[in-house]
Amino acid sequence: MFDSTALADPGASKQAIQYHYDVGNDFYHLWLDETKTYTCALWEGAQTLQQAQEQKLDYHISQAGASGTRFALDIGCGWGPALTRMVDHHRVHHAIGLTLSQQQADYISSLGDNRIEVEVQSWFDHIPAQPYDAIVSIGAFEHFARPDMSHSQKVAGYRSFFDRCHAWLRPGKRMSLQTIAYENSDRHDLHPFIAKEIWPETDLPRLADIVVAAERKFEIIRLRNDRADYVRTCNAWIHRLNERQDEIIGLVGADVFHRYVHWFKLSMIGFHTGTMSLLRITFQRVP
């Protein structure tokens, strides 16, 4: 049997992640909504991007059973919107976030909230100080495998992730996961622009790979494919980028501005056609 614990970190490197996210906090905060959330929103009944993002954060926090708990983990925490939402609206005593972006970590630290802790660290290297009552991971899982990996290595890497989350969670507790996934496509269909300019070192998962990797560690108790929500989210981001075009170009240059607009337009096509899906999965720890 392939030993997933013998793997090196199977995900995209810190350098690849920072290539994307460390364009600069000021750049992202010009066009993201007030929550500073850079993942697909949940639009059911929401009228604004901020409402849809807050609804998405509440969904994952509630699905993970984090409300009122002592210790909750956010894997791939971005600029900390789920961490802040946990402690301010869901009575979480202490929220811990993992990110590979130093700029994101610096921003979270600048908030000065002693209920929140952030570490510049991969999930692969994380050693918790105490067991967690809940785990959320929103928009990080798509970076947990590289294009140079075989299919068996990719699944083993995912298995390593679920092994760790199982070990970190208290018995019977839950994890809520959101990820982009291949739907009616595979790695050969990924647009070269995305592979080179947006997500270097990233290979998306398939739902079947996630299911196999989680077997005997987690039970899937809820599954949604909300790809239409990502079409609407990308459209909202393009609108906000265009509204701040002059400021963005003055800050980071025209090439960066046009790269992101192009990226979101390609993404809208992918989610609209079903080339890619947007999975929201609730897992419960198998004792």
Following DSSP, what letter does each residue of 74-120 receive, concatenated?
EES-TTSHHHHHHHHHS--SEEEEEES-HHHHHHHHHT--TTEEEEE
The answer, as to whether pTM is greater than 0.85, is yes
Residues whose CB is less than 8 angstroms from the CB of residue 286 and which lie 6 or more positions away in sequence, other chains included: 166, 216, 217, 218, 219
CATH of domain 4-285: 3.40.50.150
Calpha distance 180→143 (Å, rounded): 10
* Model pLDDT, residue 13: 57
Summarised one tens digit per residue, pLDDT across range 57-113 is: 999 999 999 999 999 999 999 999 999 999 999 999 999 999 999 999 999 999 999
From the list 73, 131, 78, 136, the residue with the least C-alpha distance to 107 is 78
CB neighbour class for 16 (10 Å; exposed up to 12, middle 13-18, buried from 19): middle
Summarised one tens digit per residue, pLDDT across range 277-286 is: 999 999 999 9
CA 1 to the chain's CA centroid: 29
Summarised one tens digit per residue, pLDDT across range 140-177 is: 999 999 888 999 999 999 999 999 999 999 999 999 99
Per the prediction, the chain carries an average pLDDT of 91
Q: Is the pLDDT of residue 185 over 60?
A: yes
